[in-house]
């Protein structure tokens, strides 16, 4: 048994995303090159062994929602799509993501999701400020749980 979750996002982002934000988001989605400066999720600490076999912390940036192709545990396909609908007279972006995620990655991915919540169109917000991003599901379950951000923090399963 693996501790893998399905992460599904269906989100409209409001207008006003800067070119830098769009470039970094596209990189996180596996849709573009890595920008020189990462600001949405600025640090990716990883522990590796140095030349003497001693553990050291390095910055190892990786796209957080950028896997495409066959899913390993949740079956089906892993996708990430960001597009501006043809009728987007109001300047919104449509984001659809289906990824596999391990609980070890919740914190770092949560940084990106928290940022996405700040950019979400108002239709995803409740009157108390909770932002509905999508759903999560444990790989062996058929029950989906809401993926929400409250007070800037992702409510993980």
DSSP 93-115: EEEEEEEEE-GGGHHHHHHHHHH
Could you report how far apart the first and last alpha carbons of the chain are, in Å? 17
The predicted structure's pLDDT at residue 85: 76
Helix/strand/coil for 55: strand
Closest by Cα among 150, 117, 122, 146 to 134: 146
Angle at 31 between CA 27 and CA 93, to 5 degrees: 90
Q: For the ranges 5-19, 33-47, 57-71, 82-96, which has the lowest average pLDDT?
A: 82-96
Over range 135-145, report the average pLDDT: 95
Cβ(149)–Cβ(131) below 8 Å? yes
Closest by Cα among 113, 108, 115 to 136: 113
The predicted structure's pLDDT at residue 1: 53
Q: For the ranges 35-49, 76-90, 113-127, which has the lowest average pLDDT?
A: 76-90
At residue 86 the predicted structure's pLDDT band, cuts being 50, 70 and 90, is confident
Q: For the ranges 57-66, 84-93, 127-136, 148-157, which has the lowest average pLDDT?
A: 84-93
At residue 157 the predicted structure's pLDDT band, cuts being 50, 70 and 90, is confident
**Dihedral of CA 143/113/150/124: which sign?**
negative
What does the mean pLDDT of the chain come to? 94
Over range 34-54, report the average pLDDT: 95
pLDDT at 88 over 70: no
For 69, left (φ over 0), alpha (ψ -120 to 50), or beta? Answer: left
């Amino acid at each position: 048994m693996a501790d893998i979750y399905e992460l599904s996002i269906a989100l409209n982002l409001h207008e006003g995303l800067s070119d830098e934000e769009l470039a970094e988001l596209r990189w996180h989605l596996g849709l573009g090159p890595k920008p020189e400066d990462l600001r949405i999720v600025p640090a990716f600490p990883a522990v590796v062994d140095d030349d003497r076999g001693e553990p050291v912390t390095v910055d190892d940036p990786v796209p957080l929602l950028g896997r495409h192709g066959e899913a390993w545990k949740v079956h089906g396909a892993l996708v990430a799509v960001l597009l501006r609908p043809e009728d987007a007279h109001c300047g919104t972006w449509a984001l659809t993501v289906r990824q596999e995620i391990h609980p070890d990655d919740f914190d770092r991915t949560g940084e990106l999701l928290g940022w996405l919540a700040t950019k979400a169109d108002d239709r995803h917000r409740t009157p108390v400020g909770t932002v509905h991003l999508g759903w999560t599901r444990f790989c062996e379950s058929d029950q989906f749980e809401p993926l929400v951000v409250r007070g800037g923090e992702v409510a993980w399963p």
